[in-house]
Amino acid sequence: MARGTGASAGIGIGKAAILREEKLVIENTGIEDAEAEKERFKSAVEQSIADVSALADDMASRIGEKEAEILNGHLMLLQDPMLTGEIENQIDNDKVCSEFAVETVCNMYADMFASMDDELMQQRAADMRDIKTRMQKILLGVQSVDVSLLPAGTILMAEDLTPSVTAGINPDNVAGIVTELGGRTSHSAILSRALEIPAVVAASGILSEVKDGDELILDGESGEIFVNPGSDLIAEYEKRRDAYLQEKEELKQYIGTSSTTVDGVTVEIAANIGKPEDVDRVLAYDGEGIGLFRTEFLFMDRNEMPTEDEQFEAYKKVAVAMKGKPVIIRTLDIGGDKEIPYMGLKKDENPFLGYRAIRFCLDRKDDIYRPQLKALLRASAFGNIKIMVPMVTCIEEYREAKELVADIGKELDEAGIAYNKEIQVGIMVETAAASLMADVFAKEVDFFSIGTNDLTQYTMSVDRGNDKVSYLYSTFNPAVLRSIRHIIECGRREGIMVGMCGEAASDPLMIPLLLAFGLNEFSMSASAILKARKYITGYSVEELKAVAEQAMGFVTAAETQQFMKNFVEGR
Ligand code: PEP
Ligand code: MG
C-alpha cells in the first residue's frame, strides 16, 4: 500500500492512466525581425486568452463561478501588460524567439513567487508556470493531451495536475486522481473536490510503482492507494464506495432542515474552520454557524504576523458570508503543539502545560492580542461575531481579556469606528480547572464551548499526541463524561449557551449523551454536519435522558463506549 494526502473524499477504483506531458524543448533560436516575432507572440497570447476564457466559461456553467475564478486568475496574468511588456522587451532587446522570452520571464516571476513562504504565492507560481506552458505549446504547435477523452473508470495519475488540465476532466470518466505533488489546498485539489472526484495528492514516488493500465484503489479520505489489489480487496472497497455514495446521496435530504429532535428540542449544528475559504464548504453542508474559527491558521505558513487589517478582512469575510448566523472566533491559540516560528517562542519543557494560548496573548498584548481583538471588534460590525478565549484556567484571565475588549471598544468609539457594542465574549472550557470552576465562570462569561480534545488531555493527564498513552485518551472515560455533564449543567443553570467544538461533538456515540446533558450547539468539520443532523433529528431528548443515566453508571471507558455502541446500533 502507498499513501499520500487525502484531498477529495470518496473511493476511486479503476485503471491507471499516467499523464506524461511532453517535456517542451525550449531553445533560443535567434530572430531577424523583432517586430514579426512580437506579432507571433501577441497572437499566441490572444489564442491563450481565448482558450482559457472558453475553459472558464465551461467551468462556470458545469461546476460553478467560484471554481472558474482559478482560471480567471490565469486570464489576469495573460492580460497583465507588465508581463507581456517584459516579454516583448526581451524579444526586442535580446533578439530571442518568443518561446525563449516566455521561458525566461515567466520562470523569473514563478521563481520569485515560489521563494515567498506563503501558500497563496506558491499557488501563483504554479499558475505562472501553467500559462507559460500554454503559450509555449501554442508557439511550438504542440497538442495538449485531451483529458476529456479518457475511458470510463480511469484513475488519472500525474506528477502534478495544472488547473488547466483538471478543469478539462470529465467526472463521468475519471474515477480518481493521484498526484505526486500538490497539497490539500492546491488548486487542483480544490477543483477535484468541486468535481467530486476522489483524489490523493502528495503521494511521493507513486509514479515509479505504477504503469498504465494497472488496477488501482484510492481512498480520498485516508490517502491510501492500493496498486493491483486482489479481488477480495476490490470487492471490499466497492462495497465501501457504494456505501459512501449512497450515504452522501441520502444525507442531502437533511440540507435546509432544522436540527430539531423528535420531541421538539432544537440545537445548532455549526462548523469548525481554519481559514475564511473554508466557509464555502460550511454553506454547502448547511452549517448553522461557525462554532470555532481557529485563527492560528491565519498566523501559520508565513514569515510575519498578519496585520490588524489583514485579520480584519479575514474575520469580516467570514461574518459577511455567514449572513448573520453566529460566528465564534477563537483568539490566538498557539504554543503546545502549534508552533509559529517567527513568534520567537522558546521550546517549553512541557509544551501543553506551558506558555500558550491566552497565557501567551496576555503577555503580548501590544504586539499580538490588541491588534487581534481590534480586528475582531471592527469585523463585528459586519455580522454576528462572538469572541472566544482559549485555554482559560482562572477567571482573572477572562476578566483581563474582557477589559481589553472594553478598552479597545472605547478607542473605536473615539475614532468613530463601528462595532457591535453587545459583542459576546465566551470561553473554551478545555482545562480541568475551568471545568471545576464552571459554575463561577457561567455567572460571568457569555457562553461556553467545550474543547474535548484538550479537556480529555488535561483531565486524563495524557498528551493528546502521544501514541504510547493513547489508550487512555478517550472522551468516554467517566471522568471526562462527568466533567462534560458538569460544564453543561453549570452553563444551562445560568442560561448561557453551551457548545462543543472538540472532536467528540460529531461522534455518533457521544451525540445522544450530549443531547441528554442539554448541549445547545455542536460544532464539527463541515463534512460531518449532515450526518450529525440525521442522528440528532432521530432522537427524543426525554428518551435519551434514561440512556445517559445508565451510561453514566459505568466506571470504565470501554463499558460506557460499548453501551453507547449497542444503543446506537440497536436502533
Ligand atoms: C479542543 O481542544 O477541543 C479544541 C477544539 O481545540 P484545538 O483542537 O484547536 O486545541
Ligand atoms: Mg484546544
Region of poorest pLDDT, from 65-74, 291-300, 400-409, 521-530: 65-74
Ligand 1: which residue has its CA nearest to atom 7? 453
Q: Any idea which residue has 507513486 for its cell?
A: 206
- For the stretch 511-555, pLDDT in tens is 999 999 999 999 998 988 999 999 999 999 999 999 999 999 999
Q: What's the length of the chain?
A: 571
Domain 22-138, CATH: 1.10.274.10
Q: Considering only CA atoms, give the Rg of the chain.
A: 27
Q: Where are the alpha helices (DSSP H) in 287-391?
A: 296-299, 308-321, 357-363, 370-379
Residue 71: CB atoms within 10 A of its CB come to 26
Catalytic residue check, 361: no
- Whether the pLDDT of residue 457 is over 90: the answer is yes
The residue assigned the cell 470518496 is 10
Question: Helix, strand, coil proportions of the chain in percent (round to 5)?
Answer: 55, 15, 30
159 in Cβ contact with 207 (< 8 Å): yes
Catalytic pick from 74, 187, 361, 490?
187
Q: Give residue 120's pLDDT.
A: 76
- Cell 446506537 sits on residue: 568
Tell me which residues have their CB closer than 6 angstroms to ligand 1. Answer: 292, 294, 333, 430, 451-454, 501-502
**pLDDT at position 495:** 98
Q: Distance (Å, rounded) from C-alpha 453 to C-alpha 503?
A: 6
Pick the CATH number of 145-248 from 3.30.420.40, 3.30.1490.20, 3.50.30.10, 3.20.20.70: 3.50.30.10
Q: Is the CB of residue 48 less than 8 Å from the CB of residue 138?
A: yes
Of 299, 501, 507, 522, the one to substitute when testing ligand 1's pocket (max ligand atoms within 8 A of C-beta) is 501
Nearest to 101 by CA among 89, 114, 119: 89
User: CB of 200 within 8 A of CB of 227?
Assistant: no
The CA 333 to ligand 1 mean position distance, Å, reads 9
CB count within 10 Å of CB 4 equals 24
Q: Give the nearest ligand 1 atom to 292 CA.
A: 5
Q: Confidence class of residue 269 from pLDDT cuts 50, 70 and 90?
A: very high
CA–centroid distance, 455 to ligand 2, in Å, is 8
The strand pair at 268-273 and 521-524 is best described as parallel
- Binding-site residues for phosphoenolpyruvate, in ranges, read 294, 330, 453-454, 464
DSSP string for 482-508: HHHHHHHHHHHHTT-EEEE-SGGGG-T
Give me the residue label for grid cell 477480495. 232
pLDDT of residue 347: 82
Give the pLDDT band of residue 122 (cuts 50, 70, 90): confident
Q: Per-residue pLDDT tens for 223-258?
A: 999 999 999 999 999 999 999 999 999 999 999 999
- Sheet bearing 174-179, strands edge to edge: 2-3, 224-227, 215-219, 11-18, 154-158, 174-179, 199-201, 5-8
Phi, psi of 534 (to 5 degrees): -60, -45
Q: Which residue has the cell 472594553?
A: 406
pLDDT at 147 over 90: no
DSSP secondary structure letter of residue 274 = S
Stretch 159-168: mean pLDDT: 81
**Those residues with Cβ within 8 angstroms of residue 288's Cβ, 6 or more apart along the chain or in another chain:** 259, 268, 269, 270, 325
Nearest CA residue ID for atom 1, ligand 1: 451
Q: Mind listing the pLDDT tens digit for each residue in 393-425?
A: 999 999 999 999 999 999 999 999 999 999 999
Name the maximum alpha-carbon separation found in the chain: 90
> Which atom of ligand 1 is nearest to 451's Cα?
3
For residue 329, is pLDDT > 80? yes
Q: Which pTM value belongs to this model?
A: 0.74
φ/ψ of 330, rounded to 5, equals -85, 135
Distance (Å) of CA 552 to CA 110, 182, 241, 265, 545: 59, 46, 36, 22, 11
**Can you give the residue ranges of every domain in the chain?**
22-138, 145-248, 254-568
Atom of ligand 1 nearest to the CA of 452: 3
Atom of ligand 1 nearest to the CA of 450: 3
Q: Which three cell numbers stand for residue 538?
A: 432521530
Q: Identify the three-state secondary structure at position 65.
A: helix
* Residue 328 to residue 330: CA distance in whole angstroms: 6
Task: For residue 457, give the C-alpha cell.
Answer: 488531555
Res. 59 pLDDT band, cuts 50 70 90: confident
Q: 89: which residues sit within 8 A by CB, 6+ positions away?
A: none
Residues 5-26: tens digit of each pLDDT: 898 989 999 999 999 877 788 9
Tens of pLDDT, residue by residue over 347-375, are 888 888 999 999 999 999 999 999 999 99
- Which ligand is in closest contact with the Cα of 292? 1
Asked if residue 133 lies in contact with residue 122, where contact means CB atoms within 8 angstroms, the answer is no
**Ligand 1 pocket: which of 331, 428, 507, 521 to mutate (most atoms within 8 A of CB):** 428
Nearest CA to ligand 1 atom 9: 294
Q: 297-304 long-range contacts, Cβ below 8 Å, gap at least 24?
A: 299/332, 299/334, 299/340, 299/343, 300/338, 300/340, 301/117, 301/118, 301/119, 302/117, 302/118, 302/342, 303/117, 303/118, 303/342, 304/342
Give CA–CA dist 501/45, Å, rounded.
Answer: 50
pLDDT-based confidence at 185, cuts 50/70/90?
low
Q: Which of 66-70, 169-173, 247-251, 361-365 has the lowest mean pLDDT?
A: 66-70
**CA nearest neighbour of 454 among 470, 432, 436:** 432
Burial classification of residue 315, based on how many CB atoms lie within 10 Å of its CB (0-12 exposed, 13-18 middle, 19 or more buried): buried
Fold classification of 254-568 is: TIM Barrel (3.20.20)
pLDDT tens figures, 88-121: 999 999 999 999 999 999 999 999 988 887 777 8
The Cα 198–Cα 8 span in angstroms is 5
**490 catalytic per annotation:** no
Residue 188 three-state SS: helix
Query: Which residue, by CA, sits nearest to atom 3 of ligand 1?
Result: 451
Q: Are 22-138 and 254-568 the same fold in CATH?
A: no
Is the pLDDT at 301 greater than 80? The verdict is no
b (16+ CB within 10 A) / e for 37-64: bbebbeebbeebbebbeebbeebbeebe
pLDDT at 338 over 80: no
State how far the Cα of 78 lies from the Cα of 41, in Å rounded to an integer: 12
Residue of 97, 106, 361, 501 marked catalytic = 501
DSSP, res 130: H
| pLDDT (0 to 100) of residue 250 | 95
- Mean pLDDT over each residue of the chain, to the nearest integer: 93
Q: What is the DSSP letter of 90?
A: H
Dist. CA 502 → ligand 1 center (Å)? 5
Which residue's alpha carbon is at the smallest distance from atom 5 of ligand 1?
502
Residue ranges for the known binding site for Mg(2+) are 430, 454
